[in-house]
Structure 1
Amino acid sequence: MTLVIATATPFHGHVQPVLAVASDLVRRGHEVVVLTGSRFAEDVRAAGALHVSLPPEADFDDRKLELYFPERGALPAGPRQLDYDLKHVFGDPTAAQYRALHSLLARRFPASVVVSDPLFLGATALALSAPPGRRPVTVSLGITMPTLLSEDAPPIGLGMPPLVGEGAKKRHRDMNDQVREVFADAQRHVEDNFGESGTELPGFLLDCLVTVPDHYLQLTVPGFEYPRGDLPPSFRFVGPLPAAPPSGTRSLPDWWTEVEDADRPVVVVTQGSFDNRDLGRLVRPALDALAGEDVLVVAATGRADGPDRIRAAGPVPANARVAGYVPFDALLPHASVLVTNGGYGGVHQALRYGVPLVVGGDGEDKPEVAARVEWSGAGLDLRTGRPSPTVVRDAVRRVLAEPGFRKRAAGLREKFGRHDALGAIAEVVGGATAAAGPA
């Protein structure tokens, strides 16, 4: 048995994959403490682990970000918002996260391994606090695309695929230099936060997120990530996490037989389980776009009041069915296309079933996910988080008409099947006990 601390910044999209790993490690006989936001205590206990809340200066409710970070809402999605997030959402809690980790290790739970999401910078500070063997082994889970700058690919934030041809590497290096300049102030800000924890960043923050941990395990396959020849030895593709098993009795809508018996393509539309406050960004435009098409549209709004919100904005087309929650493990096997805002986990869930995608998302990592969907050939990138109905309709028509999209999605599904992410993580954890020194 290994003592493991799993840490996650208190965002739903960061906590859930960490909890999936924690639950699997508990099932394998390890003892796990999860250090994360207070609002996730019940989820942690359901995973079979012990919950420890982050200290108040590092804790927040991601459903009410405007209360904790009021300036953020006025910033446009893109570099300015990312600069703010690096400084304040992820940077400022660093020292408090580190102190909480150090206290937990020293007084209550002398773990051999710390598993974290990459933006829990307190774990990065822990990795820098002492050489390997004098601290726990650190394992970072690549819950979204790697941030490491490379001469083989553009930096994150641009939402563009790698350049090709003569001079591509130089242009990538030039873009990397520009990114370092753009985020120079954020770099200084975060360095100050690391200084408060008694550690020092050894390089550019976006590089350090990948290079500092003892193990960086990317939760995808090479076919969904831009090739790089300059990845560190600690980097490893382990495939995506499996879909969460159904919990309790699944509730299917009363129109479910229409999905099972559909004699026309089923187009699933979603804005994910979290970024769904404004269903007019993607769900409503998709319903309007596909109203006259020979398809069955299933809009999974991800919120209990979603159907009412949709109806308040206009009539539901005759070929559409709207629900608050639909189990995707039941729905996706029937889907011909998924129209989505591009969450990393949701996109991988669709590809697990070989479902091609139409992606319209902005903010956070969504433009980067969308770019990789198109680069991989598994779908189309709408290059906006608020597409017009015409744009959505044309994209869905194309994905349905051209078999190459489904073929490439099926190819990624086959590659996923060659990997066992949970098994690979457990292997690293199991082998880490001997490598870890005193906490």
Structure 2
Amino acid sequence: MGMATVAFFAPAAAGHVNPTLGLAAELVRRGHRVTYATTGTYAERVAETGAEVVPVTSTWEGGGDADIPQFHGRELVRAMDVLLKETKSMLAQLHDTERPDVVVHDGTMGWWGRILARRWQVPSVETWPNLVSNEHWAMSQKYTTFNPLSPAFLLMAVRLSRFLKKQGAEGMQAFMSGDAAVVRLVTLPRAFQYAGETFTDRYEFVGPLINERNYQGGWAPAGKGGLPVLLVSLGTAYNDRPEFYRTVLGSAADRPWQVVLAVGGADLDALGPVPANVEVHRQVPQLAVLRHARAFVTHAGMGSTMEGLHFEVPLVAIPQMAEQRANADRIAELGLGAVLPPEGITADALWTAVERVAGDERIRERLAWMRGEMTAAGGAPAAADAVERALGN
């Protein structure tokens, strides 16, 4: 296969950029030219893959991931509005980009990738970094409520349909579900997806595309033969939980654990004293810490969930919103860890869950099984094969 130009587009959010990095790196390794349109926040990690950064600015930059609304339930109308604005801004910035041979773009929010692929008349491959939906299983069945007849939604649907028509794109339903893509790469193993066996027709479950993130720096546990490592992180978006961090800090001192706590943008002075066996960071090199971790307290975002499972680390899930609740329930259902309700977590409940998952033989077996499923899914090489097949179409 000759060298091709592959253009990547993803929204400016860690949960959408990180899952694509392993694929970008693999395509570069195979001799393709990869361009990746992204913001300053993500430029370094993209450049590390060998891709050429195409600088863009985002309408939601600066607010952090928390400003990116959820794509279901009551948030759906606001999400569509925010995304329509972002799409128009991205199209304006990218309109004179050279035509690539294939487009790889985020399936949940990368609307501009979908529109550009159509405009350029080139095949597109979509990356879906979370649970996907069909008639057998959907987020909306259990986790979110949404009224398709609400005036706000109907008005938004009209606006979006009008915009898509102007772009020459397909109807709203087909557009939003990515029906025009050659293949949808879902970056989790089929075994983790609810009703996974029912997703046929252009869904390929390639598992997580983990890429060494050297830009984050390394990490090593304190001392030789020291305490078991506990990573505590609520991710990049819904992590403003000072009372939870205070619970961790206030109760860690007399526990036989080395705790690595990521607190995002929390006010460090308001968190109280830090015990000797705890290190507090705004962000941690998550992969480097997970390599050593005995347990992982996580918000159960899909990126973090997959990274924890990749290293066979038992999970204690504290979901912060609907999508994470679905992930957390699946973690419990598959025997990969425990789930705690996010409201009013006590030190007792937290440490009991941590000790339980860390010492549970059955969980260890289930983690080894899931790791096997991930390996079988094929990861970055399987994803790159799919992109190369799309080039041949």
Q: Decide: shared fold, TM above 0.5.
A: yes
SS at match of 2:296: strand
Give 1:325 deviation, angstroms.
Answer: 5.3
Report the equivalent of 2:8. 6
Give 1:61 deviation, angstroms.
Answer: 4.9
Report the equivalent of 1:198. 168
The alignment status of 1:298 with 2:278, answered yes or no, reads no
**1:308-387 alignment, distance < 5 Å:** 309-310=267-268, 312-317=270-275, 319-324=277-282, 326-363=284-321, 365-384=323-342, 387=345
Q: Is 413-422 or 359-368 further displaced after alignment?
A: 359-368
**1:22-421 alignment, distance < 5 Å:** 22-54=24-56, 59-64=58-63, 79-85=73-79, 87-98=80-91, 103-104=96-97, 109-118=98-107, 119-126=109-116, 129=118, 135-146=121-132, 148-150=133-135, 152-156=136-140, 158-159=142-143, 180-181=148-149, 184=154, 186-201=156-171, 203=173, 208-228=176-196, 230-247=198-215, 250=218, 252=220, 256-258=221-223, 260-262=224-226, 265-272=228-235, 274-275=236-237, 278-280=240-242, 282-293=244-255, 295-301=256-262, 309-310=267-268, 312-317=270-275, 319-324=277-282, 326-363=284-321, 365-384=323-342, 387-421=345-379
Note the alpha carbon deviations across 1:418-439, whole angstroms, 9 max, x for none: 233211122122223332xxxx
Give 1:64 deviation, angstroms.
Answer: 2.1
Q: Is 409-418 or 388-397 further displaced after alignment?
A: 388-397
Matches of 1:248 and 1:339 in 2, distance apart? 20
Q: Could you say if the C-alpha distance between residues 384 and 95 of structure 1 is closer, same or farther in structure 2, counting changes exceeding 3 Å?
A: same
Q: Could you say if the C-alpha distance between residues 179 and 276 of structure 1 is closer, same or farther in structure 2, counting changes exceeding 3 Å?
A: closer
SS at match of 2:248: helix
Q: Unaligned stretches of 5+ in structure 2? A: none
- Does the Cα contact within 8 Å between 2:59 and 2:85 map onto a contact in 1? no
- Does the Cα contact within 8 Å between 1:125 and 1:197 map onto a contact in 2? yes
Note the alpha carbon deviations across 1:295-339, whole angstroms, 9 max, x for none: 304123266x87xx5564222345434345554444324322100
- Does the Cα contact within 8 Å between 2:139 and 2:326 map onto a contact in 1? no
- Does the Cα contact within 8 Å between 2:134 and 2:199 map onto a contact in 1? no
Q: Unaligned stretches of 5+ in structure 1? A: 161-174
Q: Could you say if the C-alpha distance between residues 78 and 7 of structure 1 is closer, same or farther in structure 2, counting changes exceeding 3 Å?
A: closer
TM-score normalised by structure 1 residue count = 0.76
Matches of 2:22 and 2:237 in 1, distance apart? 20
Matches of 2:111 and 2:344 in 1, distance apart? 32
Matches of 2:350 and 2:178 in 1, distance apart? 35
Percent of aligned pairs with the same residue? 25
Q: Is 193-202 or 22-31 further displaced after alignment?
A: 193-202
The number of equivalent residue pairs is 388
Matches of 2:389 and 2:72 in 1, distance apart? 40
Q: Could you say if the C-alpha distance between residues 286 and 405 of structure 1 is closer, same or farther in structure 2, counting changes exceeding 3 Å?
A: farther
Give 1:62 deviation, angstroms.
Answer: 3.2
Report the equivalent of 2:380. 422
CA RMSD of aligned residues (A): 3.5
Matches of 1:399 and 1:369 in 2, distance apart? 17
Matches of 1:181 and 1:192 in 2, distance apart? 18
Q: Which amino acid aligns with 2:210?
A: P
TM-score normalised by structure 2 residue count = 0.83
